[in-house]
Amino acid sequence: MKRSKKAALVLTVPVATLLIAGCEKEVQGMVYSNPDECSAGGWNSTEQCEADFAAAKALHPQVAPKYVNKQECEADFGEGKCETAPQQTASGGSFFMPMMMGYLAGQMMNRGGANTQQPGGANMQQPTAAGAGSSVPTQPLYKSRDDRNTFRTATNRPVAKGVGPVSFKPSQVQPQAGRLVRRGGFGQQAATRSSFGS
């Protein structure tokens, strides 16, 4: 027989992005859009809320992804959701970065932690007093254009769908110096040539 023994399709749909799995223990943090929301939530003191927000704000220009033009940044984060970064290019031009849309408070106050419900109870690690037991720096969070509900870290890890307590693996939310990501560098000829396959 000169034909295939079988010809079959099994997926024909794009494979969803998978989170990195591991046996690392989960820790807890809190996600807020702003310090007022944090204070109103009653989990942390107003002072702690302000301090976490300030820490995230300070980290924001360092870790936010950078773009060489505003258009590319807005393509990822949405129109009007990008700002000029304090850093400059070698030739004195501007970089652009997404605006901070919220923050992750890595340090949990014990009065909040005790009441926190956490999925996967077996892995639960009781939050302790401020600072102690926390291995996650407080950091800024962002929202991408195509997924407006999800808070993401500067390295594009989804953290939470809304505000409140979250659990995560510490390695997934380690801030890094913001990388310059450029996109759209392929496909220019697609505009002038109609067909690419042959």
Which residues make up the interface to other proteins (CB under 8 A)? 1-12, 14-15, 17, 65, 155-157, 179-190, 192-198
Of 92 and 185, nearer to other proteins (C-beta) is: 185
Of 7 and 23, nearer to other proteins (C-beta) is: 7
Of 111 and 179, nearer to other proteins (C-beta) is: 179
Of 84 and 89, nearer to other proteins (C-beta) is: 89
State the nearest-atom distance from the C-beta of 50 to other proteins, in Å.
31
Write the CA distances from 45 to 76, 130, 137, 171, integer angstroms: 34, 11, 18, 27
Q: Among candidates 156, 148, 198, which has minimal Cα distance to 173?
A: 156
Task: Report angle CA 130, 178, 138 to the nearest 5 degrees.
Answer: 10
Greatest Cα pair distance, the chain, in angstroms, is: 77
State the nearest-atom distance from the C-beta of 7 to other proteins, in Å.
4
State the nearest-atom distance from the C-beta of 179 to other proteins, in Å.
5
Task: Report angle CA 25, 28, 29 to the nearest 5 degrees.
Answer: 145
